[in-house]
Structure 1
Amino acid sequence: MTYEEAAAYIAEIPKFTEKHELAHTREFLRRLGNPGIDRKVIHVAGTNGKGSVCAYMQAILLAMKKRTGFFTSPHLIVINERIRINNIQIGNEKFLEIFQKVKKTVDGMAADGIAHPSYFEFLFGMAMLAFEEADVEYIILETGLGGRLDATNAVEHPILTIITSISLDHTQYLGNTVREIAKEKAGIIKEGVPIIFDGTDEEASEVIIKRALEAHARCRKLTKNAYEIREITKKHIAFSRSSAYDKDVLWSINGCGIYQPMNVSLALEAMECVLDDREKDYEMWQKAVASVTWEGRMEEILPGIFLDGAHNPGAIRVFADTLQALEETEAVILFSAVADKEYGTMIEILCREVPAKQYIITEIEDGRKVSARELAEVFHRYTSREVCICPDVKKAFLTAAAKKGNGKLFCVGSLYLIGEIRRMIKEKEVEMN
């Protein structure tokens, strides 16, 4: 079997199996030898910001010479991105080797009448096995969907849990209110295991604190009072923390996403919790944080062209906050969305709070796509500014890039869109003047 065949097999999994109970995931892991059971696991859930918090923690752990595994989703270009060891995605040869070991276990399950793992379960099993074989000390696990029933929640003894910002997303699975969604996210809280969370939303906070008390889990709530933004430009943000540890330290972040100071603050609180006093080298931590670039999160992929994976109302709202802070009122917006997102609300926020020069609407190659024409109709309800329909992503990107002139182009609305643009640029399918 080749790497390409292995990747194709995994891509086909959703067609012949469904999501399972955690007992199924635990049996799957048991048959794999319970890889990573003795490692220091940090488990992260939330609606937005999970990947960024994980990336900042990873950077600090690596700066402290800790071997670290990171399981993240979704991938933007290749599936290997989901499994990182010391911030290097596993190569094709290692991916195939791990796949074959997991596939052998899955075949054994089938012989015993046990259902095939889901797409996410299969990749989670691969990640844990890869981390075990790499002998990592820390494992950072990002949930895929929700928390309580997520496959990553099969890990029963993490050393820390983190919940990032919570807003409406995946409502068909997680609930129709922030309170209901928070209950699902709070499902990762374990008996006696510390929990650090973004307490910006009061409804979500109430749910998380209640669950933490039930689990006798030491609880640390962060609000916007936890930090103060000192400077924001199109290239970086500088902020200070109100923490007694380093209130006079200035932290610098790559990019201009106004949401990142909270994510960095969560990561720093986490590191202060899991590392001992001898390892609290804030000068080293500053350098680690400043070095992080997280793909598709207010990422300047080309001069004046930004990719932001905002794909739900909460993320679009903070994207709008960022543009307002930058006083960016004449940008071009390239937008696409999938059907299971609340794209009507996303578009309303964009039109109301981001007075762009022009909106270019496209559609992604996915079964859940919303046609560019249908999206454009929603835009016309909320704006009188120019809305251009361009279904082909490549043509839409080139059109948007040309329209921006000396201004800025922001590509938002779908991680699939972000991944496709990154791929085109990486493979030089688009030539920029």
Structure 2
Amino acid sequence: MSVDTKQQLVGSMQSYEEAVEWINSLIPFGIRPGLDRVEQMLESLGNPHRRLKFIHVAGTNGKGSVCAYLTHVLHKSGYDVGTFTSPYITKFTNRLQYNGEDIEEETLLLLANKVRPLVEEMATTELGSPTVFEVTTTIAILFYATVTYPDYVVWETGLGGRLDVTNVVTPVLSIITNIGHDHMDRLGDTIEAIAFEKAGIIKAGVPVIVGVTQPEAIEVIAKFAKEKKSSMYLYQQQFDQMPLYVDEFEQQFRFEGLFRNIEDVTITLSGAHQLQNAAVAMMAIEILRQYQALIVSDEDLLEGMKTTTWPGRLEMIGQQPRLLIDGAHNPEGAAALATALQTTYKYEKLHLVMGMIDNKSHHDTFKHILPLVDTLILTEPNYRMAKNANELEKLVQDLIKELNLSNPPRLIVERDWKQAIGLLLEETNESDLAVVTGTLYLIGDVRSYLLHNKDAEKGW
């Protein structure tokens, strides 16, 4: 550490751990929709976000995968890329990446020290303290605008879109991956209401790629786009994908676009839903070529798509026995997992561990999974909003009756998730498949535990 750096730290936070502890101390301020606090902080810092080119990605599911595809293709093509995503799977620094590498701990510490006085000053005003997500977003913008200077920032929304903190930026391209039933306590209890919130990222004159398929949601988004004079490119209209083959390790499709078709696109992310996510990302690249004079060769495009990985989403992390993890935390995610289990993976028996948080549509999530499972182990993530496993058991028992299942799963409750994983592995024979699913807070812990990642932190 340089002398200048040490001088900057005098009277400030002295370590990465201390900085993360301070950021996490803001969790009790919750999620407070609106942009007033983040706009004021960024203005105090000279509006650094105005120097960056953002690709803003919203949607219920698929945001992270689309961000991963875009990051890999752009970086493979020689561009410097910032990637801001949430929640993190292993460590806080996962959320702020530059060219696929986490922010350095020392850099995060310096930026947190720069932001903290603004946060503490704002806390004394009528605006109140900035939230954990507002502070993290501000640190991310400083990282990209004052430290790394990427050509593009792939910028994932946290919650919704219209009032989400990330909506403080004006991007060069907006993307809405899909619309589903998630965060309904905050975004609304209908597809139209949720679509309204997601469509809030559309900016005047900025093109938008839309992977949404429900007619009622498309109507809402199209109205937004028209009002903003934003060109809209809709999945299954201006672009589409045609599956060619699929197995457990990769799948191939033909991309059909407004400007051209691209044959034999291979991806290694599993699940039919990833074909749609991949098509959305490829259309985004095509539009950037048209609007931003982006230079991406077909060779780099195809290689970038093929080498894209995304932890915790239909990820096989064990072979003896086979163990699949997937953050299917809402009905649409569970439906995608169920489809993959029926079409992609072969097994004699299916044994599954599931843990949820308290604000999810549990009934509609479990109904996709229950008919497929031989053994269901209910557990609890190590998280402050964990759903009680005994309450889940009652819900599942009621749902088994409702679905009138002729061969219901054997039901086990083990509230300690590590013990639940032990039971899962004991149950699973060589010809079977073990699955861990539910909230990403559980997936992150299980992934770090089984891969022996000693660097793991609690995600949010």
TM-score tier by shorter-chain length is: over 0.9
Aligned equivalent of 1:100, options 98, 113, 116: 113
Contact 2:269 2:310 in 1 (8 A): no
The offset of 1:269, in angstroms, is 0.8
Tell me which moved more, 259-268 or 106-115.
106-115
Whole-angstrom distance in 2 between the partners of 1:144 and 1:118? 12
Please give the alpha-carbon distance, in whole angstroms, between the structure 1 residues aligned to 2:272 and 2:411.
Answer: 26
Query: Which of these residues, 289, 300, 304, is aligned with residue 284 of structure 1?
Result: 300
Select which of 326, 334, 353 maps to 1:316: 334
Secondary structure at the counterpart of residue 228 of structure 1 = strand
What is the letter of the counterpart of residue 43 of structure 1? H
1:147 corresponds to: 161
Q: Does 1:374 pair with 2:398?
A: no
Tell me by how many angstroms 1:104 deviates: 2.7
Q: Measure the CA separation in 1 of the matches of 2:34 and 2:131.
A: 11
1:356 paired with 2:369, answer no
Task: Tell whether the 8 Å contact from 1:347 to 1:378 is kept in structure 2 after alignment.
Answer: no
TM-aligned CA deviation for residue 243 of structure 1: 2.2
2:420 is aligned, of 381, 396, 412, to: 396
Equivalent AA in structure 2 for residue 289 of structure 1: M
User: Match of 1:389, as an amino acid?
Assistant: V
> 1:243 aligned to 2:243?
no
Residue type of the alignment partner of 1:285? L
- Which residue of the partner structure matches residue 211 of structure 1? 224
Aligned length: 426
CA distance change for structure 1 residues 17 and 417 in 2, over 3 Å: closer, same or farther?
A: closer
Q: Distance in 1 between matches of 2:31 and 2:282?
A: 37
Are 2:292 and 1:267 aligned? no
Runs of 5+ unmatched residues, structure 2: 1-12, 455-460
Report the CA distance between 1:111 and its aligned residue: 6.1
1:364-384 Cα offsets, whole Å, 9 max, x none, are 122211122221222223152
Q: What's the counterpart of residue 420 of structure 1?
A: 445
Displacement, 1:318?
A: 1.1
How far residue 148 of structure 1 moved from its aligned partner, in angstroms, is: 0.3
After superposition, residues 124-143 of structure 1 pair within 5 angstroms as 124-132=137-145, 133-143=147-157
Q: Does 1:385 align with 2:409?
A: yes
Deviates further, 287-296 or 276-285? 276-285
What is the CA-CA distance between 1:214 and the residue it aligns to? Answer: 0.8
Q: 1:246 to 1:192 in 2, by over 3 A?
A: closer
The CA distance in 2 between the partners of 1:9 and 1:332, in whole Å, is 40
Contact 1:232 1:238 in 2 (8 A): yes
Whether the 8 Å contact between 2:248 and 2:345 is mirrored in structure 1 is: no
Q: Find the aligned partners of 1:295 and 1:114 in 2 and give their Cα distance.
A: 37
Name the amino acid aligned to 2:434: L
Q: CA RMSD in A?
A: 1.9
CA drift of 1:245 comes to 5.0
Deviation at 1:175, TM superposition (A): 0.5
Identity among equivalent positions (%) equals 32
For structure 1, list consecutive stretches of 5 or more residues without a partner in the other structure: none
Tell me which of 278, 290, 314 is aligned to 1:298: 314
> Separation in 2 of the partners of 1:142 and 1:282?
25
What does 1:56-205 align with in structure 2 at a 5 Å threshold? 56-110=69-123, 114-132=127-145, 133-155=147-169, 157-205=170-218
Query: Cα offset for 1:267?
Result: 0.8
CA distance in 2, matches of 1:420, 1:118: 24
**Change beyond 3 A, Cα 1:385–1:138:** same
Cα distance between partner residues in 2 of 1:239 and 1:420: 33
Which SS does the other structure have where 1:269 is aligned?
A: helix
| Distance across 2 between alignment mates of 1:21 and 1:326 | 42
Segment drifting more, 139-148 vs 275-284: 275-284
| 168 and 18 in structure 1: CA distance in 2 versus 1, 3 angstrom threshold | closer
Q: Deviations over 1:57-88 (max 9, x none)?
A: 01111011111111100112211111111111
In the alignment, residue 373 of structure 1 is paired with which amino acid? N
Preserved CA contact (<8 Å) 2:27 2:131: yes
Q: Give the alignment's TM-score, normalised by structure 2.
A: 0.88
